């Protein structure tokens, strides 16, 4: 039986994404997961209590040994938490900000937004880690509508000029808030590396996003509607290969 036929979990698909991607992939993380992508290559949480599994990048033509050393910071990986049958998603632990807070984020190959609850969110649910991102913390910057990345779309600005975002999903859930910038922390046996990251700070969650265990979502699609994705930063800042995949299995 296929994973699709076995699942009893409610599936979520973004019903609105602005502006439209010029080279849009088939929508929905379920489609991509069912196509048996293998091995997520991306950020590594500094939460060492998690169960880690070693992954490897295979760069071609990178040349200098210096680049190879920098890649070691992202060549280790982590085991995704979750399942398709009851939860309907897989999540990864991602470490952000000066306080090195770890967030459990749903891995979504059908969207590009990364987002988690803001510390001032009164309408957010109680999630697995209980972590909240503090936009007033050291190193954090709220994205201004007038000084945002050129590709970033703001759903609203208001009197405070915060670049807002709002995403609705076909099963009825939605998230919204404003865009922020801070550091994404990657760790390995060789130490820690921090790179710039742009993501959403949620002030509103409804439906499954309010009740789910995961804190938020991290998108890996090729759209730049919400600024550079985490994958974009790995490629530009650490010269990682511009490719990733996800391994899904009932047995490890």
Per-block average pLDDT, block size 10, for the chain (252 residues)?
A: 40 48 34 32 35 34 42 54 84 92 91 93 91 94 92 88 90 92 83 89 95 93 87 88 79 52
First to last CA, the chain: 19
Sign of the C-alpha dihedral, residues 46, 142, 240, 223? positive
- Do 167 and 204 form a contact (C-beta atoms < 8 A)? no
Q: What pLDDT, on the 0 to 100 scale, is given for residue 202?
A: 96
Q: Which residues of 188-201 are buried (b: 16+ CB within 10 A; e: fewer)?
A: beeeebbbebbbbb
* Helix locations, the chain, DSSP H: 3-6, 29-34, 65-71, 208-211, 230-238
Q: What pLDDT, on the 0 to 100 scale, is given for residue 81?
A: 84
**Residues near 145 by beta carbon (within 8 Å), at least 6 away in sequence:** 154, 157, 161, 162, 163
pLDDT tens-digit series, residues 129-177: 899 999 999 999 999 999 998 888 899 998 899 999 999 877 789 999 9
Q: What pLDDT, on the 0 to 100 scale, is given for residue 246?
A: 82
**pTM metric for this prediction:** 0.70
- Do 205 and 117 form a contact (C-beta atoms < 8 A)? yes
In terms of CATH architecture, what is 3-8+26-238? Beta Barrel (2.40)
pLDDT tens-digit series, residues 45-64: 333 333 333 333 333 344 44
Write phi, then psi, for 211 (nearest 5 degrees): -100, -10
User: In the 8-state DSSP scheme, what is residue 249?
Assistant: -
């Amino acid at each position: 039986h296929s994973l699709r036929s076995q699942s009893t979990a409610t599936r979520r698909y973004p019903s609105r994404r602005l502006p439209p991607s010029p080279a849009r992939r088939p929508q929905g993380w379920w489609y991509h997961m069912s196509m048996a992508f293998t091995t997520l290559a991306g950020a590594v949480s500094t939460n060492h209590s998690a169960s880690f599994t070693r992954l490897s990048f295979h760069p071609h033509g990178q040349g200098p040994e210096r680049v190879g050393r920098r890649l070691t910071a992202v060549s280790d990986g982590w085991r995704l938490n979750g399942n398709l049958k009851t939860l309907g998603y897989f999540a990864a632990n991602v470490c952000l900000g000066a306080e090195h807070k770890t967030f459990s984020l749903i891995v979504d190959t059908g969207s590009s937004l990364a987002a988690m609850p803001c510390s001032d969110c009164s309408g957010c649910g109680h999630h697995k880690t209980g972590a909240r991102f503090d936009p007033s913390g050291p190193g954090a910057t709220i994205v201004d509508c007038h000084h945002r990345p050129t590709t970033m779309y703001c759903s609203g600005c208001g009197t405070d000029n915060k670049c807002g975002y709002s995403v609705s999903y076909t099963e009825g859930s939605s998230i919204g808030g404003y865009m922020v910038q801070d550091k994404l922390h990657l760790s390995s046996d060789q130490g820690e590396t921090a790179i710039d990251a742009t993501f959403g700070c949620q002030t509103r969650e409804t439906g499954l996003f309010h009740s789910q265990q995961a804190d938020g979502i991290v998108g890996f699609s090729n759209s730049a509607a919400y600024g550079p994705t985490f994958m974009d930063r790995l490629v530009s800042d650490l010269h990682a290969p511009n490719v990733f995949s996800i391994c899904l299995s009932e047995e490890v």
